[in-house]
C-alpha cells in the first residue's frame, strides 16, 4: 500500500472518523481504524460495532492495499505535523509515514481481525434537506431514556408516513415530537428506532445543513450519506410504545407565558429545590404563575411570580426542574403555551407562535404520594 495525502485533508477526515472510535473499547481492535487504498482514492473507517463512520477522499494512490492501525496515535501524529504532503507506505507490518520533518512508523493490526462493517440490505433510499434532519434531531434526542430495561425508549422513533416525517423520543417522564411535512416521501411507510448517539454524531458531521443528505433504510441498519462521509448505525429493535395514546387530546386549562422569563425563573428557583427530587412547584391562578421550591437540607426556600395569560380553574403542580428547563430550551418561540388538565395528567408544552402539530413536548408532573 502506498499513497500520499495532504496533512490537512487527512487530519480533517481522521477527526470525523475518530468520533466513533471508543476511547475505552470493549474490543481492543476497535481502537484501530481501517485504511483502504483504492483506485485514486482512500477510504478510512472506524466503528464501535453499533455505529460506523467511513470517509472517502481522492488522492494519489501508487499501490493499493488495506491496513488497520491505531486511530488515536495516527491522529495525534498527523495533527502535530506541519502542513505538507504525507507519504504513506506499508513496509512489512509497519505503516510508514514520511513527512518533510522525518519518518514515523507504527505497527499495524491484522486486517482480518477488524470487524466487517455491516453491508446494508437496502430497503429504501431517500434524500432529505440537511436542515430538516438537523431540526428533527436537535428537538428530540434530549428526551431519550437511558433505562436499559426498555431498549426501545433508548432510541428516537423516526416515522415516515407518506407526506410527513415524525421523530419522537421519550423516557417515560417526558416526550418530544417533531414533525416535518415532506412531499417527496410518497409511498414510503416505515418506522425505525435510531440510537440518539448516532443522530447526535450526525449533527456534528453535518457541516453544511443546506445540502441534501442521502438516507438509506436497511433491514437492521440505517445509513446517512453526507457525500464524502457515511455514517451507518444499527437500528434498535421495537416495538416502540404507542405514544399517540398518551398525548392528551384536550385540556381544561391553558397558560401562555414568556418563554425566556419562565426559563430563567425556573433556573433560579431550582437552585433551592430539594436535592433529591429537584421539584419546582407551579401555582397558577388568574394571571399569575408562582414558582416555588424548598430545600430542607440547607433550609432554603424560593418563590418567584411571573405574569401569564391563564384560562381555567386555579391549579397547583410540581415538575422536575431539569425536565421543564430542557423543554423550554427547545421550544424556540417567544411565548410558550402550556395545556394542562390535572396535577396527575401530562402537560402539553409548545411554542405559541408555532403550529402545535409541528413540535410538542409532554411532561408528567411530580405529586404527593397518597
How near is the Cβ of 343 to other proteins at its closest, in Å? 9
Interacting residue with other proteins among 116, 249, 276, 286 (CB under 8 A) = 276
Our finding on whether 294 is near other proteins (CB under 8 A) is: no
Size of the site for other proteins (CB under 8 A): 48
For cell 423516526, what's the residue? 158
- Quickly list DSSP for 157-210: EEEEETTEEEEEEE-SSEEEEEEEE-GGGTT-EEEEEE-HHHHHHHHHH---TT
Interacting residue with other proteins among 7, 139, 174, 330 (CB under 8 A) = 174
Q: Measured from the CB atom, is 30 or 133 closer to other proteins?
A: 30
What is the number of alpha carbons within 13 Å of residue 136 lying toward its C-beta? 24
**Nearest one of 178, 194, 196 to 243, comparing CA atoms:** 178
Among the residue ranges 65-73, 122-130, 227-235, 348-356, the one whose residues contact other proteins (CB under 8 A): 65-73
Q: Measured from the CB atom, is 68 or 223 closer to other proteins?
A: 68
Interacting residue with other proteins among 39, 92, 250, 297 (CB under 8 A) = 297
CA 68/CA 110 separation, integer angstroms? 7
Q: Measured from the CB atom, is 4 or 32 closer to other proteins?
A: 32
Our finding on whether 291 is near other proteins (CB under 8 A) is: no
Our finding on whether 279 is near other proteins (CB under 8 A) is: yes
Our finding on whether 370 is near other proteins (CB under 8 A) is: yes
Considering only residues 96 to 115 of the shown chain, the ones binding other proteins according to CB under 8 A are 106-110, 113
Our finding on whether 173 is near other proteins (CB under 8 A) is: yes
Q: Which helix (H) or strand (E) holds 287?
A: none
Q: Which helix (H) or strand (E) holds 336?
A: strand 335-340
CA 169/CA 361 separation, integer angstroms? 10
Our finding on whether 244 is near other proteins (CB under 8 A) is: no
CA 231/CA 64 separation, integer angstroms? 24
**Nearest one of 29, 18, 217 to 113, comparing CA atoms:** 29
Q: Measured from the CB atom, is 171 or 309 closer to other proteins?
A: 171
CA 366/CA 17 separation, integer angstroms? 42
Interacting residue with other proteins among 79, 150, 211, 288 (CB under 8 A) = 150
- Whether 145 contacts 154, CB under 8 Å: yes
Our finding on whether 255 is near other proteins (CB under 8 A) is: no
Our finding on whether 270 is near other proteins (CB under 8 A) is: no
Our finding on whether 219 is near other proteins (CB under 8 A) is: no
Cell of 281: 412547584
Our finding on whether 70 is near other proteins (CB under 8 A) is: yes
How near is the Cβ of 285 to other proteins at its closest, in Å? 22
How near is the Cβ of 353 to other proteins at its closest, in Å? 26
With 0-12 CB in 10 A as exposed, 13-18 as middle and 19+ as buried, what is 13?
buried
Cell of 357: 402539530
Q: List residues binding other proteins (CB under 8 A).
A: 26-29, 32, 69-70, 73, 106-110, 113, 147-150, 153, 170, 172-175, 241, 243, 246, 274-277, 279, 296-298, 318, 320, 344-346, 362, 364-370
Amino acid at each position: 500500500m502506498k499513497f500520499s495525502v495532504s496533512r490537512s485533508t487527512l487530519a480533517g477526515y481522521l477527526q470525523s472518523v475518530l468520533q466513533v472510535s471508543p476511547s475505552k473499547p470493549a474490543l481492543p481492535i476497535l481502537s484501530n481504524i481501517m485504511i483502504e487504498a483504492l483506485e485514486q482514492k482512500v477510504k478510512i473507517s472506524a466503528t464501535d460495532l453499533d455505529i460506523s463512520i467511513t470517509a472517502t477522499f481522492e488522492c494519489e494512490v501508487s499501490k493499493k492495499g488495506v491496513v488497520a492501525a491505531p486511530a488515536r496515535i495516527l491522529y495525534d501524529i498527523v495533527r502535530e505535523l506541519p502542513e505538507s504532503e504525507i507519504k504513506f507506505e506499508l513496509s512489512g507490518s509497519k505503516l510508514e509515514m514520511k513527512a518533510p520533518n522525518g519518518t514515523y512508523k507504527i505497527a499495524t493490526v491484522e486486517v482480518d481481525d477488524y470487524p466487517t462493517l455491516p453491508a446494508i440490505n437496502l430497503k429504501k433510499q431517500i434524500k432529505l434537506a440537511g436542515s430538516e434532519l438537523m431540526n428533527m434531531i436537535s428537538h428530540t434526542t434530549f428526551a431519550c431514556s437511558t433505562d436499559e430495561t426498555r431498549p426501545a425508549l433508548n432510541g428516537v422513533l423516526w416515522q415516515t408516513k407518506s407526506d410527513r416525517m415524525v421523530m419522537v423520543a421519550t423516557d417515560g417522564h417526558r416526550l418530544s415530537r417533531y414533525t416535518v411535512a415532506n412531499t417527496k416521501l410518497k409511498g414510503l411507510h416505515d418506522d425505525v428506532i435510531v440510537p440518539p448517539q448516532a443522530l447526535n454524531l450526525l449533527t456534528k458531521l453535518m457541516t453544511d445543513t443546506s445540502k441534501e443528505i442521502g438516507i438509506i433504510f436497511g433491514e437492521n441498519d440505517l445509513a446517512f450519506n453526507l457525500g464524502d462521509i457515511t455514517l451507518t448505525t444499527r437500528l434498535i429493535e421495537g416495538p416502540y410504545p404507542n405514544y399517540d395514546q398518551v398525548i392528551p387530546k384536550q385540556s381544561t386549562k391553558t397558560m401562555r407565558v414568556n418563554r425566556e422569563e419562565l426559563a430563567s425563573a425556573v433556573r433560579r428557583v431550582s437552585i433551592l429545590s430539594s436535592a433529591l427530587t429537584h421539584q419546582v412547584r407551579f401555582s397558577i391562578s388568574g394571571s399569575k404563575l408562582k414558582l416555588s421550591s424548598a430545600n430542607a437540607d440547607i433550609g432554603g426556600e424560593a418563590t418567584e411570580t411571573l405574569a401569564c395569560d391563564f384560562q381555567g380553574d386555579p391549579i397547583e403542580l410540581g415538575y422536575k426542574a431539569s425536565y421543564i428547563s430542557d423543554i423550554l430550551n427547545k421550544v424556540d418561540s417567544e411565548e410558550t403555551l402550556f395545556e394542562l388538565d390535572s396535577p396527575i395528567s401530562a402537560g402539553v408544552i409548545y411554542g405559541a407562535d408555532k403550529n402545535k402539530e409541528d413540535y410538542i413536548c409532554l411532561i408528567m408532573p411530580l405529586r404527593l404520594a397518597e
